[in-house]
Amino acid sequence: MDEIDRQILNLIQESFPIVEEPFKVIAEHVGVSEEEAIERIGKLKEEAIIRRIGAVFDPGRLGFVSTLCAARVPAEKVASFVAWVNACPGVTHNYRRNDEYNIWFTLTARSEEGIGNLIANIIEMTGVADILSLRAARTFKINVNFIL
């Protein structure tokens, strides 16, 4: 990763351009061609430095509900459970922890019933029944940017 990659990453985190050709704007800002900017971003994604580029919405303000789920998944089922959860609509994060409840993920749906249906479907399809739904009592949003 060089200085141009760092500039691209800083720009993407802080002020991704919401225009018809965002990568062209990024390229102009860091002094490379649009094609080079796209190639560099692609390489950063391949190297898992960038996981995704996308908007973050507040589900509640859009009329949706969300929950944090914690699942106790046997070691032999982790890979298939994670793959199945990642394929579910409404999953925004999914990560493994070194704990009794070893897989944590967030679900977003149009209603409480929708959340319940998603969890029931995950249980049915994976055979993992020990899933906690941990609804937030209060929301704290911390903005995290990694200035490179």
Distance CA 99, CA 82 (A): 16
Q: Are 99 and 61 in contact (CB under 8 A)?
A: no
**pLDDT for residue 139 is more than 80:** no
Provide the number of structural domains found in the chain: 2
Q: Is residue 130 part of a domain?
A: yes
Distance CA 88, CA 103 (A): 15
Distance CA 67, CA 1 (A): 36
Domain range enclosing 12:
3-46
Same domain, 73 and 37: no
Encode pLDDT of 23-58 as tens digits.
Answer: 999 999 999 999 999 999 999 999 989 988 887 777
How is residue 123 written in tokens?
Answer: 């249980």
Same domain, 64 and 125: yes
Encode pLDDT of 81-115 as tens digits.
Answer: 999 999 998 898 899 999 999 999 999 999 999 99
Same domain, 78 and 120: yes
Instruction: Name the more confident of 14 and 131.
Output: 131
Same domain, 130 and 70: yes
CATH number, residue 98: 3.30.70.3460
The pairs formed by 137-142 with CB atoms below 8 angstroms and a separation of 24 or more are 139/60
Of 21, 52, 57, the residue nearest 37 (C-alpha):
21
Same domain, 64 and 113: yes
Same domain, 80 and 129: yes
Distance CA 108, CA 90 (A): 5
Q: Is residue 54 part of a domain?
A: no
Q: Are 8 and 40 in contact (CB under 8 A)?
A: yes
Q: Is residue 140 part of a domain?
A: no
Q: Is residue 70 part of a domain?
A: yes
User: Binning pLDDT at 50, 70 and 90, where does residue 144 land?
Assistant: low
